[in-house]
C-alpha cells in the first residue's frame, strides 16, 4: 500500500511545496485599479497585444495585420494572440499575459469570444492596470465608464446593418417574396442585433415573408448544408437569402449554385470580406456592410497607446466615446470598387483622430 | 499395457534434432541442455510438469524464443529460427494451446493466413483459389468443414481441425515431411472429441512428424510412438509406450515416488446420504439446460459430467448468477438463493472458479494480494476503510497455507505459474471463511501434475470442513477420482446419477455410455 | 450484408418512413438527391475512419488532416491567391498530403506505442497548424472550373460529389472484402496476436490503414473545398466525431473487427437523414442536436438489445 | 512444483514478502512530473518572466477547472470507459448555476453539482443497463446536454450579477494562491483518499483491467461504473462552478472546448486510456502540462500556426514518455 502511494505522495508534496513557496513570496504586485486614468509610459516601454479568435479567417487575420501596421508606425511590435474561439482559452491567455508583470504599460485590443467573456477580461485587465479596448461583444449593462483602464468599447450597429442589407435585399427582390435567414452564433450580441434589424425591416415591408430562420454559426460549411435543406423545404418560394455574415452568405451562394438556382435568388451578408466584394462586383451577391478589419485592429491599439503615453488625456475622452458605434457603409455594386483594396490610413491612428469614425454612442 | 501396434515402425533418420539447448531467465534455467530427436513419420510425446521446460522448448522450436546455447538441426542442417515464419520455412509448425485463429475471418483465410501464396495476387484476394487451397488442407485431415464459414461460428473441436489444417500449410514451403507440434491439444476437448483428435494424429503420421505435448499420461501413452520426459529443463528419459507403465512415467516426471493414483490423496470420509442437502436445485431452466434437479450436501463433492453442449458449464454459471435462468429455484441451506447476479451469490457464500482463468478468473496486472481479497473485501477493512496491515496478514497467511509460490504478495498475479495463479483464485473464496458452496469449473485445466495434486488436496480439505463442491472436472478420471457422486448431463438435462464411494468407483467407460 | 447490419438498416428505413409521413417535402426526388449530396463528404471520411475502427484503433485526426488538405488543394489548383494552376495534380497532392498525415499517425502508433487516440489528436493539431500557415491570412478562392464542377455538376440527377462518394464506398468495400489490406485490418481487430503467431508483421498493415484513412480524409477535404469554393481551415471541423458516430451507429464497433464500410455507410445515411428531416419537420435548431443524440443512443441500444447477456463486457 | 514462478521471467531471488514496483516502473510513474518540469524550464528559457510567481500562479489557476473536470473523468477511464460528455455537462451546469443563483443563493452551487452528478449517473445507468458503449452513451449525452443548455438559456449567456456565494471559486488565499487551485487539489485529494482508503481501489482497477473477472469475483461492477459516471458528472458540475466564478456568467457553450484538453490531461498524466492503470493524482499533473501547452506557448510568443503544431507534437511525446507500457499489452 505504502509503496504504490509513493508517486502520489511525491506529487502531493510537490504541489503543496510549490503553493507554499510561491505563497510566501510577498504581496500582490499588480496595482489594483489605481486612479491614474492617463498614463505616463515611455512609448518604448509599451507592449501592444491584439487578440482575436483565430488567424484562419480572413476578417480576423486582417484585423491582426492592421494592428501590426499601427505597431510598426510607432516603432513597436504587436503580440498576436489567438484563442481558437474557445472562451476559456481566451480568458486563460489574458490572465496569463497579465501575470507577466509588465502590465502598467500594456495595451490590449481584444475581440471577446462572446458577450460573457468581456466581463472577466475587463475585470482582469482593470485589476492589473493594463489599458484595454474591446470590440464587438459586451453585455449591455457593463460600461467602460465604470472602469479606470477599460478605455473604450467599439462596435458596429448590428441593428442598423441588419436592416440596411435587408433593405437592399428587399429592393433586389422587387418588394415581395420569401426570405430565409441564416443566423450567426446565437449566443452573441452581433447575431441578435443583426437579426433584430432584419425583423425591423420585415415589419416595414409587408410584402416580404420570412420563410425560415436557422443558425449556421457564422460558418460557411454549415450555411451550405442549411441552405440546401431550406431550399428543398421551401422550393421556389425562396427569392432572397439574408445571412448574418458574409461567410454564410458565400456558403449560401455555393448552395444556390449547386441547386442550379444561382442568379435567381438575391443574397446579402455583412463584413465585406474580399470574396463577398468580388461576388458583389460580379453581381452574384447583392449587398454587404463594411466592418473594417484592419482599422479595428489598429484603432484599438492606437487608442490604448495614446492614453498610455499621455498623448490623449482621459479627461478629454467624452463619455459617448467610451462605448461607441463605428461608422459603417452599405456596399452594393455601385460603390464596391471603393472598398476593394483594404488598407489602413495612418491618419486614422493619429491621437487626435482616433475617435473620428464614431457614428454615435452605444444605445 | 499391451504392445503398441505402431511401436514396430522402423526408426527413420531424424527430421528435427535438438542438441544441448539452453535458455536461462533471471533466476530460472528453463532449458538446461535438452537433447532430443524427432524422426520421420512418428508421433513423439513430450511429457513433463509445467516448469519442466516444455513450453520454452516448444517456443524455441518455432522461433519465439532464442536459445542461449545449443543447436537446432533440421534434416541434419543447423538452423537459426528467429520467428514463426522462419520455423515454418523449415517445415516446423505449431498448434498453440490457446487457439490462434482469428474469429472474424473465414476458416479458409485462417488456414492460409500469412502464407496466402497464389490466394493473393497484387494484394487482391482470389477467393476461389483461397477456397481451393483451404479445401486441400482440410481434405488431408478428412475434415468436412466449409472453408468459407466464419471461424467463430465453428465449435472448439472444429476450430482445432482448422488449426491443424493451417499448420499443415508448411508442407507447401518445404516439400518435405513437416513437423507438427501439438501443444496440450486435448486440454479443453470432451472425451468424444479427444478420440477424433487421436484419429487425426494417427492420420497425420502418414505424412508428417508429430510432436504431441500433454500433461495427461494416458493420452501420451495412447497416441505416441516414443515419449520424452522433461524435468528441470532436461530430457530425463525416453520411453516406448510398449514398455511403459504410468507409475514409472509419473515418477520420472515429478522426480519422486508420488502416489500412483493422485486423485485419492486424502482419506475421504463418506458423507452420510441422510444429511440434509446444502444446495437444492429444482426445475432450473436456462438457455442451454432444462428442468435440472440437483442436490449437494455439505462436505460432498459432486461432479457433473457431460459432452460438449450438455449444458453443464451454463448450469454452473447459472448457479452463480452469471447467466440468466427462466424457471426453477435454487435453495441454499433451505433459503432461496436469488440468482440475480454474482454479487448475490457471493453474499450467500457461493464461490466460483471459472474455467478461463486468465480471462475470467484473475485480474492479471493486479497483485496477488488484491486478487485474493477481491471478493471478500471485508477481510482487509476496518469498517469501510482498508487497513493494509490486515490485508497483508490475511494474504500472507493464505500464501503460506496453500504454499503459493510467489516472490511476494505485491507481485502481479500474471507473473505466477498457472498452478499458483489458480491457488490464489481459490483462496479468494476462502479468505472470508464464509464459503459454503464452491462451483469449480475445470479447476485443474492447464495445471501440471504437482499443482493438480495440491488443488485436489485442497478440495478434499475443504470438503472435510463441510464445504459443498460442484465440480466440472477436466477428465472423467478426475471426476470419478474426486467426486462422491457423479451427475451425468446430456442435452441440457440430468440423465443419471452415479455414486462414487471410495473403494467402489465406477469405470470411465460406464460413464461414457450414459453421456452419449 | 450480414444480419448484424439489419438493425441500423431497419432504423434507417423507419426514420425515412416517419419523415416521409411527416413532411411532404422530404419525399421529393430533389430532397433525396439533396440528402445524398449532403452525405457525400461524411461518407468518404467515414470510409477512412471505418478501417481504423476495424483495427480496434480510433482516429480523431480528420479535422486537422482535412484542414491541411483543403488549403493545399485550394492553393494548387487555379485560385485567387497565387498563380498556380495544377488542376488534377493539385488534387492528387492534397490527397497524398492527407495520406502522409494519416501515415504519420500510424507510424507514431507503432513506433512510439502511443495509443491512436493521442497520436491522431496530435496529428490533427499539426494539420491545423499547417493549414493555418498555408492560409496566411487570405482565403484562397477556388477558380478551377473542374474542381468547382465537382459540387455543381450533375449526372443522372445526382451531384458529382454523390457519385464520388458512391465510388469511394465501393472502393472501400472492395478493399475491405477482397484485398489483403482489408482482410488483415479485420484480422488485426479480431486478434492481433494471432497474426503475429502466423508470421504476419502487423505494423506495416496498421500504418497502411492509417495512411489509407488519411487519403480518404484528403479526398473528403477536396470535396469540401469544392463545395465551399475556397480553402477553409475549418473544412473538417466536426467530421472526426461525426464519422465515428456514423460508423458506430451503422454497426462498426469500437472494439474492432466488426462491421465494415457498408455498415458505416448506413450510419452515415441515418445521421444525414436525421439532420435533413429534423429541419424539414421544423424542429427547433436548439433541440436538433439533442434529438439526434437521443436517436443515436436509442438506435445503438436497440441494435445491442438482442445480443445482451449477463456477463457481457461493455467498455 | 520445484521451480518458483516456473517458466516466467520473474527474478525468483527477490523473494521479499512484498515485491513492489521495480525501479523502471517508479521512474515511469514519475514521468509526468518530469515532463511538467521540462516544459516549465523550456518555456522559461524562451521567456524568463515565465518563472515569476504571478505567472506560475496564473498557470495553476488556469489549470484548476480543467483538473477538476478531468479528475472525475479519470475514474471513468480507470474503469475502462470514457466520458465525452463532461464538457457539455459543465456548460449546462454553468447555465443552471447562473439561472439558479438568484433564487437559491448559497444553495445554488451544491444543487448544480448534485444535478450534474445525477446526469452523470443517468448516463452510467444507460451504459451499464442498456449495454451501450460508454463512448456512444456519452457522445449522445454530449449533444443532449448541449441542447438542454441552449434551450434553458435561450441560446444566450446568462449573466451573474451577485456572485457572492460562489466567490470562493475565484479568489486568492494565503496571499496569492488561487482558491481554484486549492479546490482542485482538494477534489483530487478527496477522490484519491476515497479510492485508496476503501476497497474501491481494487474494485475500480479490476473493472478496468478485466471486467469479466471482476464481475465473477462478485465485484459490484455495475455499481462501480455508475458511481464513476456520477462522480464524473459531479466534477463537471464543480468545474462549472469554478468557471462561472471567473467568467461571472454561465453560457451554453462555455466549457465545450475543454473536452479534448481534459482527455489529454488524463492520458498525459499516465492513466491508460484502456483502463485499470493510473490514478487521479496523475491527472492533476496532466492538467498542468496541458494548460502550459494551451496557454503557455502563445503567451511566450509562439505564433498560432506553430503553437498548434507544437501542441500536437509535444502531446504525443508526453504520452510516449508517461505511458507505462508494461501494463498495456496491445496498443490500439
Whether the CB of B97 is below 8 Å from some CB of chain D: the reply is no
Q: Judge: C187–B116 Cβ closer than 8 Å, yes or no.
A: no
In a domain, A10, yes or no: no
In a domain, C250, yes or no: yes
**Grid cell listed for D276:** 485499470
Q: What is the pLDDT of residue B2?
A: 43
Q: Judge: B109–C183 Cβ closer than 8 Å, yes or no.
A: yes
pLDDT tops 50 at residue B266: no
Q: What is the pLDDT of residue A25?
A: 39
Among candidates B81, B97, B94, B90, which has minimal Cα distance to B168?
B94
Range of the domain at A224: 159-289
Give the separation between CA C296 and CA C245, rounded to whole angstroms.
8
From residue A262, alpha-carbon distances to A267, A276, A279, A291 in Å are 10, 15, 12, 26
Give the separation between CA B66 and CA B56, rounded to whole angstroms.
10
Q: H helices of chain A, where? A: 6-23, 58-73, 87-98, 115-128, 158-172, 189-204, 220-234, 246-258, 274-281, 293-309
- What's the number of domains chain C is made of? 1
Give the separation between CA D43 and CA A162, rounded to whole angstroms.
46
pLDDT in tens, A71-86: 999 999 999 999 988 8
Domains of chain B listed by start with CATH number: 14-101+174-258 (3.40.50.300), 276-349+437-516 (3.40.50.300), 364-435 (no CATH)
pLDDT tops 90 at residue B254: no
Whether the CB of C138 is below 8 Å from some CB of chain A: the reply is yes
- State the best of D181, D257, D260 to mutate against chain A, taking most chain A CBs within 10 Å: D257
Q: What is the pLDDT of residue A19?
A: 47
Minimum CA–CA partner of B57 in chain D: D7
B328/D6: higher pLDDT: B328
pLDDT in tens, B360-405: 899 988 999 999 999 998 888 888 899 999 999 999 999 998 888 8
In a domain, A335, yes or no: no
Q: Judge: D12–B359 Cβ closer than 8 Å, yes or no.
A: no
From residue A105, alpha-carbon distances to A39, A64, A125, C75, C246 in Å are 8, 20, 11, 41, 52
Q: Do A273 and A319 share a domain, yes or no?
A: no
In a domain, A32, yes or no: no
Among candidates A330, A332, A318, A324, which has minimal Cα distance to A357?
A324
In a domain, A216, yes or no: yes
Residues, chain A: 363
Q: Judge: B450–D203 Cβ closer than 8 Å, yes or no.
A: no
Chain B positions touching A2 (Cβ under 8 A) are 388
Whether the CB of A3 is below 8 Å from some CB of chain B: the reply is yes
pLDDT tops 80 at residue A21: no
Mean pLDDT of C66-73: 96
Give the separation between CA A225 and CA A229, rounded to whole angstroms.
6
- The answer to whether the CB of D260 falls within 8 A of the CB of D44 is no
**Grid cell listed for A321:** 466615446
CA distance to partner chain D, nearest, from residue A27 (Å): 6
Stretch 93-152 of chain D: residues touching chain A, C-beta under 8 Å? 150
pLDDT-derived band at C307, boundaries 50, 70, 90: low
Whether the CB of C63 is below 8 Å from some CB of chain A: the reply is no
pLDDT tops 60 at residue C34: yes
pLDDT-derived band at D296, boundaries 50, 70, 90: confident
Q: Name the 3-class secondary structure at D260.
A: helix
CA distance to partner chain D, nearest, from residue C306 (Å): 11
Give the separation between CA A227 and CA A216, rounded to whole angstroms.
9
pLDDT in tens, D146-198: 999 999 998 788 888 888 899 999 988 888 899 999 999 999 999 999 999 99
Mean pLDDT of A134-154: 90
pLDDT-derived band at C195, boundaries 50, 70, 90: confident
From A186, A232, A275, residue closest to C230, measured CB to CB: A275
**Residue C153 neighbours by CB distance under 10 Å:** 15
Chain B positions touching C181 (Cβ under 8 A) are 123
In a domain, C312, yes or no: no
Q: Do A165 and A280 share a domain, yes or no?
A: yes
- State the best of B64, B108, B110, B114 to mutate against chain C, taking most chain C CBs within 10 Å: B114
Q: Judge: B410–A3 Cβ closer than 8 Å, yes or no.
A: yes
pLDDT-derived band at C268, boundaries 50, 70, 90: very high
Give the separation between CA D221 and CA D209, rounded to whole angstroms.
12
Q: Judge: C187–B84 Cβ closer than 8 Å, yes or no.
A: no
In a domain, A21, yes or no: no
- What's the number of domains chain A is made of? 2
Average pLDDT over chain A reads 85
Chain D positions touching C128 (Cβ under 8 A) are 308, 312
From residue B428, alpha-carbon distances to B371, B431, B464 in Å are 7, 6, 19
Range of the domain at C129: 41-259
Stretch 304-323 of chain D: residues touching chain C, C-beta under 8 Å? 304-313, 315-316, 319-320, 323
- The answer to whether the CB of B94 falls within 8 A of the CB of B181 is yes
In a domain, C298, yes or no: no
pLDDT in tens, B109-148: 999 888 788 888 888 999 999 999 999 888 888 888 899 9
The DSSP element (H or E) to which C252 belongs, if any, is none
Q: What is the pLDDT of residue A28?
A: 37
- State the best of A2, A9, A22 to mutate against chain D, taking most chain D CBs within 10 Å: A22
CA distance to partner chain A, nearest, from residue C33 (Å): 10
Residues, chain C: 315
Beta strands at B301-305 and B43-47: parallel, antiparallel or unpaired: unpaired
Q: What is the CATH number of the domain that holds A181?
A: 3.40.50.2300
pLDDT in tens, B178-231: 899 988 887 667 777 788 888 888 888 888 899 998 767 777 788 888 888 888
Give the separation between CA D326 and CA D323, rounded to whole angstroms.
9
**Grid cell listed for C74:** 485550394
Q: What is the pLDDT of residue A54?
A: 86
Phi, psi at B168, each rounded to 5°: -65, -15
- State the best of D204, D249, D280 to mutate against chain A, taking most chain A CBs within 10 Å: D249
The four Cα atoms A33, A34, A35, A38 give a dihedral, to 10 degrees, of: -90
In a domain, A30, yes or no: no
Chain D: partners with 3+ C-beta pairs within 8 Å: A, B, C
**Residue B12 neighbours by CB distance under 10 Å:** 13
Amino acid at each position: 500500500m505504502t509503496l504504490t502511494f509513493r508517486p502520489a505522495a511525491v506529487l502531493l508534496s510537490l504541489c503543496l511545496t510549490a503553493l507554499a513557496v510561491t505563497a510566501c513570496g510577498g504581496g500582490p504586485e499588480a496595482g489594483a485599479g489605481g486612479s491614474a486614468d492617463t498614463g505616463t509610459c515611455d512609448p518604448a516601454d509599451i507592449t501592444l497585444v491584439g487578440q482575436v479568435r483565430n488567424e484562419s479567417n480572413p476578417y480576423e487575420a486582417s484585423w491582426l495585420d492592421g494592428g501590426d501596421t499601427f505597431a510598426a508606425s510607432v516603432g513597436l511590435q504587436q503580440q498576436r494572440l489567438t484563442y481558437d474561439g474557445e472562451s476559456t482559452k481566451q480568458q486563460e491567455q489574458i490572465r496569463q499575459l497579465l501575470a507577466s508583470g509588465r502590465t502598467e504599460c500594456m495595451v490590449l485590443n481584444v475581440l471577446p469570444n462572446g458577450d460573457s467573456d468581456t466581463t472577466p477580461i475587463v475585470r482582469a485587465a482593470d485589476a492589473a492596470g493594463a489599458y484595454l479596448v474591446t470590440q464587438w461583444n459586451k453585455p449591455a449593462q457593463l460600461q467602460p465608464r465604470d472602469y479606470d483602464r477599460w478605455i473604450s468599447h467599439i462596435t458596429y450597429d448590428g441593428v442598423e446593418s441588419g436592416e440596411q442589407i435587408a433593405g437592399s435585399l428587399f429592393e433586389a427582390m422587387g418588394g415581395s417574396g420569401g426570405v430565409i435567414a441564416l443566423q450567426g452564433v446565437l449566443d452573441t450580441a452581433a447575431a441578435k442585433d443583426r437579426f433584430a434589424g432584419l425583423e425591423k425591416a420585415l415589419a416595414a415591408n409587408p410584402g416580404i415573408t420570412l420563410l425560415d430562420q436557422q443558425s449556421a454559426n457564422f460558418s460557411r460549411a454549415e450555411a451550405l448544408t442549411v441552405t440546401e435543406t431550406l431550399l428543398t423545404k421551401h422550393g421556389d418560394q425562396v427569392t432572397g437569402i439574408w445571412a448574418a455574415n458574409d461567410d454564410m452568405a458565400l456558403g449560401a451562394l455555393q448552395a444556390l449554385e449547386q441547386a442550379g438556382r444561382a442568379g435567381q435568388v438575391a443574397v446579402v451578408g455583412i463584413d465585406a470580406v474580399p470574396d463577398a466584394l468580388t461576388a458583389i462586383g460580379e453581381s452574384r451577391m447583392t449587398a454587404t456592410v463594411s466592418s473594417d478589419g484592419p482599422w479595428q485592429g489598429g484603432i484599438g491599439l492606437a487608442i490604448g497607446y495614446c492614453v498610455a503615453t499621455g498623448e490623449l488625456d482621459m479627461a478629454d475622452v467624452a463619455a459617448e466615446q467610451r462605448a461607441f458605434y463605428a461608422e459603417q457603409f452599405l456596399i452594393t455594386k455601385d460603390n464596391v470598387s471603393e472598398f476593394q483594396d483594404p488598407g489602413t490610413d495612418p491618419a486614422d491612428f493619429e491621437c487626435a483622430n482616433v475617435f473620428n469614425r464614431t457614428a454615435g454612442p452605444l444605445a | 499395457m499391451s504392445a503398441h501396434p505402431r511401436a514396430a515402425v522402423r526408426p527413420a533418420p531424424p527430421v528435427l534434432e535438438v542438441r544441448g539447448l539452453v535458455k536461462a531467465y533471471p533466476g530460472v534455467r528453463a532449458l538446461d541442455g535438452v537433447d532430443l530427436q524427432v524422426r520421420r513419420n512418428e508421433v513423439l510425446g513430450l511429457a513433463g510438469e509445467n516448469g519442466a521446460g516444455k513450453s520454452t522448448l516448444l517456443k524455441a522450436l518455432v522461433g519465439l524464443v532464442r536459445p542461449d546455447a545449443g543447436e537446432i538441426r533440421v534434416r541434419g542442417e543447423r538452423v537459426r529460427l528467429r520467428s514463426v515464419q522462419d520455423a515454418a520455412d523449415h517445415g516446423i509448425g505449431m498448434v498453440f494451446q490457446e487457439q490462434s485463429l482469428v474469429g472474424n475471418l473465414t476458416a479458409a483465410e485462417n488456414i492460409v493466413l500469412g502464407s496466402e501464396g497464389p490466394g493473393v495476387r497484387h494484394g487482391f484476394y482470389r477467393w476461389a483459389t483461397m477456397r481451393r487451397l483451404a479445401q486441400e488442407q482440410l481434405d488431408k485431415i478428412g475434415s468436412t468443414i466449409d472453408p468459407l464459414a466464419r471461424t467463430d461460428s465453428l465449435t472448439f473441436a472444429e476450430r482445432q481441425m482448422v488449426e491443424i489444417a493451417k499448420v499443415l500449410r508448411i508442407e507447401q514451403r518445404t516439400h518435405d515431411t513437416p513437423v507438427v507440434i501439438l501443444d496440450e491439444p486435448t486440454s479443453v476437448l470432451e472425451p468424444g472429441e479427444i478420440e477424433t483428435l487421436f484419429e487425426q494424429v494417427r492420420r497425420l503420421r502418414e505424412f508428417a512428424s508429430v510432436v504431441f505435448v500433454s500433461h495427461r499420461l494416458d493420452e501420451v501413452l495412447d497416441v505416441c510412438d516414443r515419449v520424452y520426459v522433461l524435468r528441470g529443463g532436461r530430457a530425463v528419459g525416453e520411453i516406448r509406450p510398449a514398455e511403459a507403465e504410468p507409475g514409472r512415467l509419473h515418477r520420472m516426471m515429478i522426480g519422486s515416488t508420488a502416489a500412483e493414483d493422485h486423485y485419492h490423496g486424502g482419506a475421504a470420509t463418506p458423507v452420510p446420504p441422510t444429511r440434509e442437502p446444502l444446495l437444492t436445485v429444482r426445475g432450473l431452466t436456462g438457455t442451454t439446460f432444462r428442468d435440472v434437479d440437483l442436490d449437494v450436501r455439505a462436505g460432498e463433492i459432486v461432479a457433473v459430467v457431460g459432452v460438449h453442449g450438455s449444458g453443464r458449464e451454463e448450469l454452473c454459471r447459472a448457479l452463480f448468477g452469471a447467466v440468466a435462468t427462466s424457471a426453477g429455484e435454487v435453495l441454499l441451506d433451505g433459503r432461496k438463493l436469488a440468482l440475480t447476479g454474482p454479487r448475490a451469490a457471493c453474499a450467500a457464500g457461493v464461490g466460483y472458479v471459472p474455467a478461463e482463468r486468465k480471462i475470467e478468473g484473475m485480474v492479471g496486472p493486479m497483485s496477488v494480494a488484491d486478487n485474493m481479497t477481491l471478493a471478500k473485501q471485508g477481510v482487509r477493512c476496518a469498517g469501510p476503510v482498508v487497513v493494509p496491515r490486515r490485508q497483508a496478514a490475511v494474504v500472507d497467511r493464505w500464501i503460506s497455507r496453500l504454499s503459493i509460490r510467489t516472490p511476494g504478495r505485491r507481485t502481479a498475479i500474471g507473473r505466477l505459474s498457472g498452478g499458483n495463479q489458480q491457488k490464489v483464485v481459490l483462496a479468494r473464496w476462502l479468505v472470508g471463511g464464509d464459503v459454503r458452496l464452491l462451483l469449480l469449473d475445470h479447476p485443474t485445466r492447464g495445471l501440471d501434475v504437482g499443482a493438480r495434486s495440491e488443488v485436489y488436496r485442497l478440495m478434499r480439505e475443504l470438503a472435510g470442513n463441510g464445504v459443498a463442491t460442484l465440480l466440472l472436472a477436466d477428465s472423467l478420471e478426475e471426476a470419478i477420482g474426486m467426486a462422491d457422486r457423479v451427475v451425468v448431463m446430456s442435452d441440457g438435462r440430468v440423465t443419471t446419477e452415479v455414486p462414487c464411494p471410495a473403494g467402489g468407483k465406477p469405470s470411465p467407460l460406464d460413464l461414457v455410455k450414459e453421456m452419449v | 450484408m450480414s444480419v448484424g447490419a439489419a438493425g441500423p438498416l431497419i432504423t434507417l428505413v423507419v426514420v425515412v418512413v416517419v419523415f416521409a409521413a411527416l413532411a411532404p417535402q422530404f419525399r421529393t426526388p430533389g430532397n433525396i438527391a439533396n440528402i445524398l449530396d449532403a452525405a457525400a463528404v461524411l461518407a468518404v471520411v467515414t470510409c477512412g475512419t471505418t478501417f481504423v475502427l476495424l483495427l480496434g484503433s480510433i482516429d480523431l485526426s480528420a479535422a486537422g488532416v482535412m484542414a491541411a488538405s483543403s488549403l493545399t488543394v485550394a492553393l494548387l489548383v487555379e485560385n485567387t491567391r497565387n498563380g498556380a494552376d495544377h488542376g488534377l495534380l493539385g488534387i492528387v497532392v492534397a490527397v497524398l498530403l492527407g495520406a502522409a498525415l494519416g501515415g504519420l499517425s500510424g507510424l507514431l502508433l507503432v513506433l512510439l506505442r502511443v495509443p491512436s487516440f493521442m497520436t491522431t489528436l496530435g496529428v490533427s493539431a499539426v494539420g491545423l497548424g499547417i493549414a493555418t500557415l498555408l492560409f496566411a491570412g487570405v482565403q484562397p478562392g477556388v477558380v478551377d472550373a473542374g474542381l468547382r464542377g465537382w459540387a455543381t455538376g450533375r449526372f443522372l440527377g445526382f451531384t458529382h460529389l454523390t457519385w464520388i462518394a458512391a465510388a469511394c464506398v465501393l472502393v472501400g468495400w472492395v478493399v475491405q472484402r477482397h484485398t489483403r489490406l482489408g482482410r488483415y485490418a479485420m484480422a488485426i481487430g479480431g486478434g492481433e496476436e494471432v497474426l503475429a503467431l502466423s508470421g504476419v508483421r502487423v505494423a506495416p498493415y496498421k500504418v497502411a490503414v492509417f495512411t489509407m484513412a488519411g487519403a480518404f480524409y484528403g479526398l473528403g477535404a477536396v470535396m469540401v473545398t469544392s463545395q465551399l469554393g475556397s480553402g477553409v481551415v475549418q473544412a473538417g471541423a466536426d467530421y472526426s466525431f461525426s464519422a465515428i458516430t456514423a460508423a458506430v451507429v451503422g454497426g462498426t464497433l469500437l472494439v474492432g473487427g466488426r462491421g465494415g464500410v457498408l455498415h458505416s455507410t448506413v450510419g452515415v445515411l441515418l445521421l444525414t437523414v436525421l439532420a435533413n428531416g429534423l429541419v424539414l419537420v421544423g424542429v427547433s435548431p436548439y433541440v436538433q442536436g439533442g434529438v439526434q443524440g437521443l436517436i443515436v443512443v436509442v438506435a445503438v441500444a436497440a441494435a445491442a438489445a438482442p445480443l445482451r447477456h449477463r456477463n457481457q463486457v461493455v467498455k | 512444483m520445484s521451480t518458483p514462478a516456473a517458466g516466467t521471467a520473474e527474478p525468483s531471488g527477490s523473494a521479499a514478502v512484498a515485491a513492489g514496483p521495480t525501479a523502471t516502473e517508479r521512474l515511469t510513474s514519475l514521468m509526468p512530473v518530469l515532463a511538467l518540469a521540462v516544459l516549465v524550464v523550456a518555456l522559461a528559457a524562451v521567456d524568463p518572466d515565465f518563472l515569476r510567481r504571478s505567472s506560475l500562479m496564473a498557470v495553476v489557476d488556469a489549470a484548476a477547472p480543467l483538473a477538476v473536470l478531468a479528475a472525475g473523468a479519470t475514474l471513468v477511464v480507470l474503469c475502462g470507459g470514457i466520458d465525452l460528455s463532461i464538457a457539455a455537462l459543465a456548460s449546462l451546469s454553468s447555465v443552471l448555476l447562473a439561472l439558479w443563483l438568484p433564487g437559491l443563493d448559497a444553495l445554488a452551487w451544491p444543487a448544480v453539482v448534485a444535478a450534474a452528478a445525477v446526469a452523470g449517473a443517468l448516463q452510467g445507468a444507460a451504459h451499464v443497463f442498456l449495454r451501450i458503449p460508454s463512448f456512444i452513451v456519452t457522445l449522445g449525452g454530449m449533444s443532449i446536454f448541449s441542447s438542454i443548455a441552449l434551450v434553458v438559456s435561450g441560446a444566450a449567456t446568462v449573466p451573474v450579477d451577485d456572485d457572492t456565494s460562489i466567490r470562493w471559486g475565484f479568489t486568492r488565499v494565503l496571499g496569492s494562491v488561487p482558491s481554484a487551485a486549492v479546490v482542485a487539489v482538494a477534489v483530487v485529494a478527496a477522490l484519491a483518499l476515497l479510492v485508496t482508503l476503501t476497497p474501491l481501489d481494487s474494485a475500480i482497477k479490476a473493472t478496468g483491467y478485466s471486467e469479466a473477472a471482476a464481475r465473477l469475483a462478485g465485484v459490484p461492477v455495475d455499481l462501480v461504473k455508475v458511481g464513476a459516471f456520477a462522480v464524473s458528472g459531479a466534477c463537471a458540475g464543480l468545474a462549472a462552478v469554478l468557471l462561472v466564478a471567473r467568467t461571472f456568467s454561465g453560457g451554453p457553450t462555455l466549457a465545450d472546448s475543454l473536452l479534448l484538453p481534459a482527455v489529454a490531461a488524463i492520458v498525459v498524466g499516465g492513466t491508460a486510456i484502456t483502463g485499470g492503470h493510473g490514478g487521479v493524482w496523475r491527472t492533476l499533473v496532466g492538467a498542468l502540462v496541458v494548460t502550459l501547452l494551451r496557454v503557455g506557448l502563445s503567451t511566450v510568443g509562439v505564433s498560432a500556426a506553430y503553437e498548434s503544431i507544437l501542441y500536437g507534437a509535444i502531446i504525443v511525446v508526453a504520452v510516449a514518455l508517461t505511458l507505462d507500457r508494461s501494463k498495456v499489452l496491445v496498443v490500439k
